[in-house]
Structure 1
Amino acid sequence: MATENGDNNSNDHHGLKTCLVLGGRGFVGRVLVERLLRLGNWIVRIADYTQSPQLEPSELLLSEAFASGRASFFHVDVRNKPQIIKAMGGVSTVFYTESMASFPRDFFSCYTIIVQGAKNVVKACRECKVKHLIYNSSADVVFDGSRNICNGDESLPYPSNFENVVTDLKSQAEALILFANEVDGLLTCALRPCNVFGPGDIQLMPSLVNMAHSSWTKFIIGSSENMSDFTYVDNVAHAHICAEESLSSQMVSASGKVFFITNLEPMKVRDFVPLVLESFGYQRPIFNLPAWVIHYFCLLVKLMHMKLNSGKIERCMLIYDVAKLVSCTRTFSCSAAETHLGYSPVVSLEEGAALTVDSFSALAKDSPLRRYNDPDEPSKVDKLLGSGKVADILLWRDEKKTFICFLLLVLLYYWFFLSGRTFITSAAKLLLMIIVSLYGYRMLPAKIHRFTFPRVSSTCCEVSKVDMRNSFLAMTSMWNELCLVTRLLAQGEDWRTFLKVSAFLYLCKLIVPHFLTVAIAIALVLAFTLFFVYEQYEEDIDGMAKVVISSLRKTMISFARNLPMSLTSVLLDCEPLKEKKSS
């Protein structure tokens, strides 16, 4: 493998151009290096902040290039100008792509890496007589985080307020590189790809999958009509090569300018997200949720976990990034890149999504929908609800059916509790409406124009003997339980049952006269939310419950120790009564 000592077998590569890919082990850099090697007319120097290239088994082409001397690796920190110059000697073109997975959180470190790093790269290019410098910027540098951009072009100015510090600093680095155009013979340009994705993605795809793991994929965040451009990573690498060819042909119109790079296939975000996530086993979003709700929810989670669990914060911020992505329209025109660079996508959006899904197939293993499709592994709440139709409705297995049931219950709640009538009057009017509707439906002809009205069969309202028997058995069991409780109370020996019944009746006394309507409304809402939420966060809720139960147990023990009579003696006094009753 060729390393910092230089290119091996250099005598065998006469006539080939030499380039340096800064950030060559990053997301875009890896694909760019591979495309340059496949072209066959480049000697590629790879510079990265990592100590060694750490090749993966799939990178056979790069491994062969290292062995033949067509590729070499240099450890370069862009904050260290001598390291850049050492890697840049004899190079005609520099492709500047940043490879860091995430930038430091403090402003000074970000500034030195992005802005000061760009200054060092420009100075090194001028000292080493580099001809072309192509900077991989971002379409985010013209986005303020709130305003829609529809078919934006290169005339868009930098916003007065950026959505984050990194974007602000990248805009400064971009401006520095463009300002260095035609100084000491150096020609520069910058590319602004929008929402880059593909195999090896470290931002967009992990954010979407983390959102799916958190069950946010059920929600359409912001307007469901928001459009956005997405760019497959191979197209970004191809655009860099087109830019180099354009600068080499001495087209003055390309140097010193910026170019938006997309797949030329803007689409609704609500269509792109399912295109990727449905292949992982996650369902299509169905509920609309305002973007500001996600904003404040993520801020609240960040405050709650600031000192407790940094992992929760990271996942929350990933969800917040996706929320920002889908909350606004961001589409850009590539006409300038098509005209001046000769750019056109080499991989379609659909094909790129399929290739991306294949590369991230391991992420589908933990999909929460797998247990829905696997009848052998029902969740705890599914077992609690009987694993039948009630479970399917309350757990939102079929969203349409669940919504219809919820709407019917809300209408019944309004009819009986909010209409201002008595319960008997409401029930009588409801039965009257049902009878009139059924009789009127029976009087309709079988077909009116193109509409047919199927007849209600005579057995539709019949109840089978088995169902009636089961209903009576359930009623009998309930009656027997009630009789047993009454007998225990009459004997005056079971204090636990007495306290339970007394507490229940006292709560009914407090709730029924004043809060029955509100209590039923709350129960209705909780029935359609708590079961679903528990199934999604079963492990987290069980862990919290264990902590609460353990704390309550410790509190009760501490309280019992401070009583005049120990709790143990009271329990022991109750044991003979139980034995006497059982005998």
Structure 2
Amino acid sequence: MAVNADRFQDSNPKTCVVLGGRGFIGKSLVLQLLKLGNWIVRIADSTHSLNLHHSESLLAEALSSSRASYFHLDLTDKHRIAKVLEGSSVVFYFDVDSSNNGDHFCSLYKLIVQGAKNVIIACRESKVKRLIYNSSADVVFDRDKPLAYPWKVDNMLIDLKAQAEALILNANDIDGVLTCSLRSSNVFGPGDSELVPFFLKLARYGFTKFIIGTGDNLTDFTFSENVAHAHICAEEALNFQTVSVAGKAFFITNLEPMKFWKFLSLLLEGLGYRRPFIKLPANLVQYVLSVLKWLYEKSGPGYFNYPLLVHFIQLALHTRTFNCSAAQKYIAYAPIVSLEEGVTLTIESFSHLAKDSSFSRCCDRSKADKLLGSGKVADILLWRNEKASFTCFLGLVFLFYWFFLSGSTFISSAARLLLFATLLLCGHGFLPSKLFGFSIQRVPGSNFKISDTAVKDSVTITLHLWNKGFQNIKGLAQGDDWSIFFKVAGFLYLLKLFLSKLLTTLIGVGLVFAFMVFFVYEQYESEIDGLVDILITISKEFMVYLMRNLPVSVSRLLHYGDNFQHYQGPECGKDLR
């Protein structure tokens, strides 16, 4: 895994700048440059301060010995960029993190495209010799074939990155600056903030159990350390093989194409999730995606990350492999970490997000358990003790039949049940202690006693409820609050209709529902939560679309009503009455 430094031992220390050096791949490149020992590294990024992790001891040592330095940098500030680049011979350019800018086109354009222009101008002014840009294979990918820059790109971020790459390649050999671009495919590894976290988020919601399409499509993945190593190879090649490298773009992968679903399965199983096993038709998924695209175009950036979802669907459906022979031939690139080892290292780094790392069922209660109070009722309805749960279910079914399906009135059913219970208890009392060799356990008399405290408490509660109810009824009868009177009268009338028509059916359905739905929810909690989140997201996006397409008069009325409710407090309400 270590970078071979023999060929650099006799060279003088060179000064380089790593723009975006605190990003995902930038950190790995800085570490490899420091390990080589013949670089003075300037780290430039958008973060205001350099907060080192305990694992970055090599960087801390380099900072203290002035082999490394850190600069806060805004890519929209031309003069600041030129000052940071002054005296350096090489610039490794990674896009500065744009996650805090959301999906605003203007902000992203300034950071990526205008930022690339500023970097090029600063390189010329500072007499930088080599500029190496970290691009992406996505900039030239369209369906199943790597092509030239496509005419239309659904992902705005990729479109802007393609523009930045074109600017840098076209600036080659102007004012002595040699440029090249590295197009890596599906970069993953420790510190990844996009690809692996997105997969794990889908896994937590239960969506990674589905295989979209046939599952035979091949994909190229690239471990982050290999991408960093490719930048070092490109810098050396630009220095010695100018004609073959300058102004060119090179694909970078692990040189190990793998079925996408196999890669995902290795990653998920390593973190305790189940591998995909249910196949979904590709046409169905494409139809759902078209609906989401329509919502995204109508309502704009909102509650779901449509571009990242599109990227995942493309990975899941299409073959995405790239020819790295040019990188092997002209910049002498070869992976230093195998795909298998890269997956293992990634799993170890994301162990804190493993399924059973800190939220195992043995030590964390499920939502269904919390909803039911985590007591005896929860144990019964969640079938923790199957014998007790089945007994309770049969008992409730018997009571449901006795009171609602037997054809008798409620009072007569209760009287017959009381008589039946009395006969059973009396018969049990006359039975001998042993019958046919079986011991008969007596029911202790203490089970039928009620303590004085319990009787007093029940009487006190009953009196309190009676007095409170009497006061409310008296107020309604005297017409103290007619709005409440009509609400109560309407509710009682609807309740009467409800009880006379649907009570029996709803109680029967509710009985089965209670013993089934909580158990099912506990078993598939993440999947159900994920589906609910998607439905809520779609409904919100649809409501945004409706609000934007309502007539102006209706929109103003709703807006006025919201403002009125917002500004009118309880005191104002009293004045209006």
**Deviation, structure 1 residue 108:** 1.6
Select the residue among 88, 91, 115 that pairs with 2:88. Answer: 91
CA-based RMSD of the aligned residues comes to 4.3
Select the residue among 394, 409, 417 that pairs with 1:488. Answer: 409
1:17 aligns with 2:32: no
**Residue pair 1:298, 1:320 contacting (<8 A) in 2 also:** no
Q: d(CA) in 2 for partners of 1:112 and 1:480?
A: 72
Q: d(CA) in 1 for partners of 2:331 and 2:401?
A: 85
Q: Any residues of structure 2 matched to 1:408-487 within 5 Å, and which? A: 477=398, 481=402, 485-487=406-408
Select the residue among 108, 125, 129 that pairs with 1:127. Answer: 125
**Residue pair 2:217, 2:260 contacting (<8 A) in 1 also:** yes
Paired residue type of 2:103: R
Q: Any residues of structure 2 matched to 1:48-447 within 5 Å, and which? A: 48-102=45-99, 103-144=101-142, 147-149=143-145, 152=146, 156-289=147-280, 290=282, 291-296=285-290, 298=292, 313=304, 319=309, 321-364=311-354, 370-371=360-361, 380=369, 384=381, 386=383
**Residue pair 2:382, 2:519 contacting (<8 A) in 1 also:** no
Paired residue type of 1:46: I
**Deviation, structure 1 residue 214:** 1.4
Instruction: Note the alpha carbon deviations across 1:315-337, whole angstroms, 9 max, x for none.
Output: x7755543343232211111110
**Deviation, structure 1 residue 303:** 10
Q: Any residues of structure 2 matched to 1:558-577 within 5 Å, and which? A: none
**Deviation, structure 1 residue 189:** 0.5
**Deviation, structure 1 residue 226:** 1.9
Q: Which runs of 5+ in 1 are unaligned?
A: 1-12, 391-466, 509-525, 545-583
Out of 378-387 and 235-244, give the one that drifted further: 378-387
**Deviation, structure 1 residue 305:** 10
Paired residue type of 2:409: L
Q: Secondary structure, in 3 states, of the residue corresponding to 1:313? A: coil
**Residue pair 2:144, 2:320 contacting (<8 A) in 1 also:** yes
Out of 321-330 and 80-89, give the one that drifted further: 321-330
Q: d(CA) in 2 for partners of 1:498 and 1:163?
A: 55
Instruction: Note the alpha carbon deviations across 1:400-426, whole angstroms, 9 max, x for none.
Output: xxxxxxxxxxxxxxxxxxxxxxxxxxx
Q: d(CA) in 2 for partners of 1:366 and 1:300?
A: 37
Q: 1:528 to 1:285 in 2, by over 3 A?
A: farther
**Residue pair 1:27, 1:99 contacting (<8 A) in 2 also:** no
Q: d(CA) in 2 for partners of 1:260 and 1:283?
A: 32
Paired residue type of 1:364: A
Q: d(CA) in 2 for partners of 1:179 and 1:306?
A: 33
Identity of aligned residues (%): 47
Q: 1:298 to 1:528 in 2, by over 3 A?
A: farther
**Residue pair 2:19, 2:94 contacting (<8 A) in 1 also:** yes
Paired residue type of 1:292: Q
Q: d(CA) in 1 for partners of 2:358 and 2:12?
A: 56
Q: d(CA) in 1 for partners of 2:397 and 2:131?
A: 86
Q: 1:298 to 1:214 in 2, by over 3 A?
A: farther
Q: Secondary structure, in 3 states, of the residue corresponding to 1:105? A: coil
Select the residue among 19, 27, 30 that pairs with 2:27. Answer: 30
Match of 1:503 in 2: 502
Match of 1:457 in 2: none
TM-score normalised by length of structure 2: 0.64
Q: d(CA) in 2 for partners of 1:476 and 1:104?
A: 55
Q: Which runs of 5+ in 2 are unaligned?
A: 1-9, 370-377, 416-491, 508-516, 536-577
**Deviation, structure 1 residue 486:** 3.5
Instruction: Note the alpha carbon deviations across 1:462-486, whole angstroms, 9 max, x for none.
Output: xxxxx9xx9xx97994797369954
